[in-house]
Chains A and B, each alone.
Chain A
Amino acid sequence: TGTQGRIDSFFKII
């Protein structure tokens, strides 16, 4: 069912 994405690859660290 695909590879699990990581949330911090979608939102930039500030």
Chain B
Amino acid sequence: MFEARLAQSAILKKVLEAVKDLLTEATFECSDSGIQVQAMDNAHVSLVSLNLRSDGFDKYRCDRNLSMGMNIGTMTKILRCASSEDTVTLRAWDNPDNIIFIFESQNKEKLSEYEMKLINMDQEHLGIPETVYSCVVKMPSQEFARICKDLSQFGEAITIACSKEGIKFTAAGDYGNANIKLAQTAEADKEEEAVIIDMQEPVKLTFACRYLNSFVKATPLCAQVKLSMSGDVPLVCEYQIGDIGHIRYYLAPKIDD
């Protein structure tokens, strides 16, 4: 049997909102250690890697490893039926055809059950090598979302240049161009407002706005985002999910013609 309970559905609601633009379906790998999802978007440009540790759940039981193929659109619709304060329980039996979502209101007076058919999926699994990145930037997630949105008006790609002076985002298009520079924070009053740059060597990479704007849908999950970059390798855009895990987005860079 598989059963995982969260005291508040808000986290799971936000996770679904953070992946639904990129993924139509995904396999949820459930084991004793927790729930893992690794899936590429249809165009195979980006990869989503989600990790929810079993110890982050209020209750977690997984008698045997399960791979459950889920339709993300349907799952999003079901999670939208839960109030943020509702308790959410995911339940499936061994060799399941279905997964059940159970929402319970805070006062325990409303109990909702949604059963979703699982899908058989033949998914490729990618091995992501351990990488030491040339630049690792931590910055407020809302600031990153704002920059991606603002610069998307000027072109379909954003160039990110990171040096020890700071991080610069540039977009250029037919109607003009724009750039935004952020310096490392000298002294931040609050940790979540800080811009911190850990640079081994400068990096300059270009990424499609469309994907970055999908990644920033994870902004409600965490006040800070971590961007890891090295020359000619995918960007890693990481959001912590409370004390329970993280979501990482990998995005292939644009390659010079």
Taking CB atoms, residues of chain A closer than 8 Å to B157 are 1-2
- Say whether A5 contacts B253, CB under 8 Å: yes
The answer to whether A3 and B254 touch (CB under 8 A), given A8-B40, A10-B233, A11-B47, is yes
Taking CB atoms, residues of chain B closer than 8 Å to A10 are 233-234, 250, 252
Interface size counted on chain B using CB atoms at 8 A: 28
Task: Give the interface residue-count category, chain A.
Answer: 10 to 19
**A3-B127 Cα distance, complex, nearest whole Å:** 24
**A6-B254 Cα distance, complex, nearest whole Å:** 9
- Say whether B128 contacts A11, CB under 8 Å: yes
CB of B255 closer than 8 Å to a CB of A? yes
Extra contacts, 15 of them, besides A1-B155, A2-B256 (Cβ < 8 A), are: A1-B157, A2-B206, A2-B257, A3-B254, A5-B45, A5-B255, A6-B44, A7-B46, A7-B252, A8-B126, A10-B250, A11-B129, A11-B234, A11-B250, A13-B125
Count: A-B pairs, CB below 8 Å: 65
CB of B124 closer than 8 Å to a CB of A? yes
CB of B70 closer than 8 Å to a CB of A? no
| Residues in B208-257 with C-beta less than 8 Å from chain A | 208, 233-234, 250-257
Chain B 157-199 interface mask (CB, 8 Å, partner A; 1/0): 1000000000000001000000000000000000000000000
